Amino acid sequence: MRRALLVLALLLIATPAIAADYVPRTKNEIAFAAILKEHQNYNARLQKVAAPLLKANAKYCPRTRRDIGMTVHTLSDYQPSLQPFAEVLIGANDRLSIRTIREGSPAEVAGLKEGDSIIGIGGSYMPSGFTVQRFFDLATKTAFKGEEAELKILRGEQRLDIVVRPETICDYPANVFFNEKANGHTDGEQIIITSELMKTVPDDVNLALILAHELAHAIKGHQRKEKSLELKADRMALVMMSRANYDIDRAISYWRDAAHPHADYQSSSKTHPSISERYKNFRAEQLRITKAVTAGKTLSFN
């Protein structure tokens, strides 16, 4: 049972909200609804923490995109065996609709809501069917180039024209992956944070440090695991956090005092620096950043 539910959760990487009027009845539905809710909360938190980093460091990222802070879906995005769950639990249907909206995003500011159906964007009509997701991706690339873009929305029986103001962010999305091991990594395309790591890192500033570390690896295209590259990613992470107005002293202090599940491994690893090496590296970089900020200099990667 638990294995089956975890498999279902894995297939819903960016989980939308459960339909507000749905009441789960069977044991399977209750358990699955709970996993969806848990995954939704993880993703909402992750997107909120990642957003300042992705926005503040956009000019330093080799890959960027125009973004309004929402995700969309249709019923065809889900495997046939999951479509009944997707339709009942999360309101997916044949029409393109909003599944998640990031807190504080341009989408939220403009008044968009989860569950809104998108029927047009930038003058382009959104068809229904399995091709609409690709059509939407192409339409947004054009529509989001300017300072403003108009979305035509169907909310219940009401048709609305909503103007959004896209922003440029790093194109390295952060996603939650259900796994019982606390870990974060990047494949160069996205940043993946496990559900166990989300549980064990309750502090958002420290979560930002982990995200920034993986973002550094993605930006630099680090393929090998070497101590020097890990220390470089730590230094870059503090710079990116500073640009995003995160409290790096709090992050370093929390990191020093936190339980490190991989501490024994890192102490003997040939590819990763020890906890003490990383702490010294953090403090040295913090001093360099403080001096640069005090002197009014633009922060650069060391």
Stronger pLDDT, 302 or 265, i.e. the higher one: 302
The 10s digit of each residue's pLDDT in 55-72 is: 999 999 999 999 999 988
Supply the pLDDT for residue 265.
56
**pLDDT surpasses 60 at 107:** yes
The 10s digit of each residue's pLDDT in 140-166 is: 889 999 999 999 999 989 999 999 999
Q: Sketch the domain layout of the chain as residue ranges.
A: 2-168, 201-294
The 10s digit of each residue's pLDDT in 14-50 is: 444 444 455 556 666 666 667 767 777 888 899 999 9
Identify the band that residue 185 occupies on the pLDDT scale cut at 50, 70 and 90: very high
Identify the band that residue 266 occupies on the pLDDT scale cut at 50, 70 and 90: low
> Tokens 């894995």 identify what position?
10
The answer to whether 167 and 66 have CB atoms below 8 angstroms apart is yes
Supply the pLDDT for residue 37.
73
> Across all residues in the chain, what is the average pLDDT?
84
How many residues are listed for the chain in this entry? Answer: 302
| Structure token digits, residue 289 | 């950043």
Supply the pLDDT for residue 261.
62
- The CATH H-level (homologous superfamily) assignment of domain 2-168 is PDZ domain (2.30.42.10)
**pLDDT surpasses 60 at 112:** yes
**pLDDT surpasses 50 at 13:** no
Per-residue pLDDT, averaged over 267-284, amounts to 84
Supply the pLDDT for residue 110.
97
